[in-house]
Chains A and B, each alone.
Chain A
Amino acid sequence: MSGSVAKSQAREILEVTSPTNSSIRSWLHGLPGVDQVGCEARATGLATRSIKTSSKAWGIDLAISMIDLTTLEGADTPGKVRGLCAKGAAPDPSDPSTPPVAAICVYNDMVEVARAALHGTGIHVAAVATAFPSGRASMTVKLADTSDAVAAGADEVDMVIDRGAFLAGDYRKVFDQIAATKEVCARPGDRPDAHLKVILETGELVTYDNVRRASWLAMLAGADFIKTSTGKIAPAATMPVTLIMLQAVRDWRELTGSMVGVKPAGGIRTSKDALRYLVMVSEIAGDDWLDPQWFRFGASSLLGDLLLQRQKQRLGVYSGADYVTID
């Protein structure tokens, strides 16, 4: 969906000629409140499902293919990014049947390096933009940041919302920023537009109600994906927060017929956690989301643990960190 289509859809949903702060506010605050205790109990309950060995093997492969392998450090070098790309393409060199990851996520000055390294693999390049991770910059800078990433050939753009504006109640500003970024993600001609992932940074949104509102606001403004966190703030992705976002995309499809993806990022480190998330995706949003196109894990260390579990399943013996690559 392009930026202008998103805007006209928003006008339709809000039943106004142009979205204003008050029209967005009354719509967002009209959403049902989140039952905090119930939501946490549901998330805990979903984490206790027992998963049989064959399903686990399937789930591990699916989880690997859903990973956005990420390096977002000030110390990133072209060599490190190339190394990460090689790991993403062949996560376990000792077993070629291991699926590749979904995308490599880097800062936008590393997009060209990653694109060159991933040429021909089908793995996407995701770039973080809009003054990631704080989002504290003028709109001109944020859009320039985004168009840099798009021009460098990023397949996906991860933007951060202005949490300050959101918490201050300036929903219109957040809406406009997402919509404007969405327009910059468009590419002329036949080349596909960059997918827009909107990072809500739920660790700074304080309440579950805010998470729900921010999810709807992002979808209203044209997000292709809603993502929990930058990974720079604790708490990052949690089960209850992801549950609320999964409910939001499910209800959004009911309302508009279009699907939006979900990406929990940060703090997911073990295969056990990853499988719990997959159970939740299936139970809350539905099996349509059990696809790398609609659900992603933003993680780096998770891949190592998934590979260890995969080796355990294949060899029948416990494996160790000496048998997977570091970074």
Chain B
Amino acid sequence: MAAQRLPVRKTYKLYIGGKFPRSESGRSYEVFGQDRKKEFLANAAQGSRKDVRDAVKAARSAVSGWAGATAYNRGQVLYRVGEVLEGRREQFISEVAASEGLTRPLATRVVDAAIDRWVWYAGWSDKLAQVLGNLNPVAGPYFDISAPEPTGVVGVLAPQASSLLGLVSVIAPAIVSGNTVVVLTSEDRPLPAISFSEVLATSDVPAGVVNIITGRTAELAPWLASHRDVNAIDLAGAADAADVSWGELEASGADSVKRVVRPAGDGADAIEPDWSVTPDLHRVRAFLETKTVWHPKGR
């Protein structure tokens, strides 16, 4: 008779500044599968506003290195994330199936799409400047050049329903141009995001570029939206989140002149977009500043 193994359960923690701390508050919450059985999956760390603050600090200190890296180098690093994701494909299929209540073939499609999406965005890193930048025509002996630059620290409310494909579809466009992000995961489906942070930690992404916090969206989102050291916020996850009003979040973001990406749909009817559709560049463009320089033209 084969000896029965003790189960080795995984502790899902936060991902801040390249480390995996527990929540500063010591709290955790139960995560259940989203199929009919509502089976208990794991305890996830319930992040607090101080975790958000620490994450923003880590993200801020990572900006200069990540934004200062060459676009080519960033592309290589992000592609490497795609490689490691591919290696962990089976794990993500199981986690997505459990978290979202999908059948295995459907979960496989979602994970494959997520990996492809990541690689798609990675490819854009050294092409953005050509597409979004410009050599402007001027009436004088000057070059006038507009070039896109990252805005800095981006707060991201990850989509509530799509725990992996939606997650990579909001993280990748923000960091590909050199921003760093603080991500609040889906409240009820946080587990794939934490496994994704393990992928980031083992694939050359500098510490602090991506910070991931699990917990109650309604508790944490206002702190992130009002944080004066956050330059932009993606409110994708405000759609269908319990007790969250994206309008209020946008208003508190306005106090510190943040760039805001609203969720799709209007008002209380905000909806999560269909992430399986091939995206355009609007999420990338939303987190860029345009620097325009004049340069004398010599002979």
Contacts and interface: CB of A to CB of B under 8 A. Distances in A.
B53 interface: yes
Interface string B230-258: 10000000000000000000001001100
Interface residues of A, number: 9
A9 interface: no
Contacts of A320: 56, 60, 227-230
B227 A318 contact: yes
Chain B, interface size category, equals: 10 to 19
Contacts, number: 31
Nearest to B52: A318
A318 B56 contact: yes
A321 interface: yes
Main secondary structure of the interface of B (DSSP, over half): helix
Contacts of B252: 317
B223 A318 contact: yes
B181 to A, nearest CB: 16
Contacts of B53: 318
Interface of A: 311, 316-323
A301 to B, nearest CB: 14
Given A318-B56, A323-B228, 7 more contacts: A317-B228, A318-B227, A318-B229, A319-B229, A320-B229, A321-B60, A321-B229
A267 B56 CA distance: 23
Nearest to B252: A317
B226 interface: yes
30 contacts: A316-B226, A317-B223, A317-B226, A317-B227, A317-B228, A317-B252, A317-B255, A317-B256, A318-B49, A318-B52, A318-B53, A318-B56, A318-B223, A318-B226, A318-B227, A318-B228, A318-B229, A319-B228, A319-B229, A320-B56, A320-B60, A320-B227, A320-B228, A320-B229, A320-B230, A321-B60, A321-B229, A322-B228, A322-B229, A323-B228
A48 to B, nearest CB: 14
> Considering residues A316, A317, A323, which has the most beta carbons from chain B within 10 angstroms of its beta carbon?
A317
B182 to A, nearest CB: 11
Nearest to A321: B229
